[in-house]
Structure 1
Amino acid sequence: MGKLLFLLFVLIPIVEIALLIEVGERIGGWSTIGLVILTAAVGATLVRQQGVATLMQARQKMTTGQSPGQEMLEGLMLAVAGVLLLTPGFVTDGLGLLLVMPVSRPLIARWLLKRLVVAGASVHSAGFYSHQSGQGDVFEGEFEVRREDRDQDPKLPR
């Protein structure tokens, strides 16, 4: 974890500065600044557009009773993409665009969902986990019956 933090906070800014200097020497300083501002504006627009689309997909899955786990992860990825796209630099812009594009984001999300592990169980959505048993998938979760729910439905346990 220490190496990852070192990479994030020391090496990436150094690479970004070197790349900005190189691009500035080739196309000019003001053109480079304009390009950085343009990528931030385009990135913010893409994040907003894709965020709404992802929210609608999650809502549609929830209305049909499906788990919106992938859409939740994609929403988190869009938030990270927004931060990366607003951070000045070309490396962070490239990573941000990779996370915001509707072609690559679902692929990355599916890859991440397969590899996320919590106590030996794959995370499918917030609060719900599955694991393999001898008879197929077992889904575990938590629920609580609230007092107002019991008052409205006599079939719920007291």
Structure 2
Amino acid sequence: MRFIGFIMFFIYVYLEVSFFIIVANTMGIFLALICIIATSILGFSLVKSQGLNNLSIMQQKIANNQSPKNEIFKSVALLFAGFFLLIPGFLTDILGIILLIPHVQKHIVEFIVRKIPITSKFSSSQTHDQDSDIIEGEFKHKSDE
């Protein structure tokens, strides 16, 4: 079982280096390196701006007592996109850019939300059901003296 991760890593490295060689033969090594660095910088700035926008949407939903679960999953997709964009290589850059597309994020979030049952309670009312496990009361702390 340990060797599967090891083999997958070397397959990834082989594919990444092969793709870099193909691109470098087409465009030139210097231009290929500039493209990798540029996509890392561009991807980082895009993830930062979209992440801050997503954070403000989450704060608004929490303030309106709505569930921010879709935005949380979108934030995870942005985190992975940023991670893939920061790793040098064209294949990971392509995967990171795909994760930055809002339409793709929407489908990923909908897929995850359907697969993972998440319940949340966002309500401002103080009413409790009779079947609730909450017991209200008062207590006083007395010392053992």
TM-score, scaled relative to structure 1: 0.71
1:59 paired residue number? 59
Q: Distance in 2 between matches of 1:7 and 1:101?
A: 30
What is the number of residues matched between the two proteins? 127
Cα separation, 2, equivalents of 1:9 and 1:105: 26
Which protein shows a greater Rg?
2
Larger proportion of strand: 1
Query: Unpaired runs of 5+ in structure 1?
Result: 117-121, 130-142, 146-155
Aligned in 2, Cα 1:29/1:108: closer, same or farther, shift over 3 Å? same
Q: Which residue of 2 is the match for residue 133 of structure 1?
A: none
Deviation >3 Å, runs of 4+:
1-8
Q: What residue is the counterpart of 2:98 in the other structure?
A: 98
- Percent identity reads 28
8 A Cα contact 1:50 1:102, kept in partner:
no
Deviations 1:102-121 (A, max 9, x none): 232122111122123xxxxx
- Provide the C-alpha distance between the structure 1 equivalents of 2:134 and 2:13, rounded to a whole number of angstroms: 47
Query: 1:42: which partner in 2?
Result: 42
Q: How many Å separate the matches in 1 of 2:7 and 2:67?
A: 35
The CA deviation at 1:101 is 2.1
In structure 2, the partner of 1:123 is 118
Normalised to the residue count of structure 2, the TM-score between the two structures is 0.76
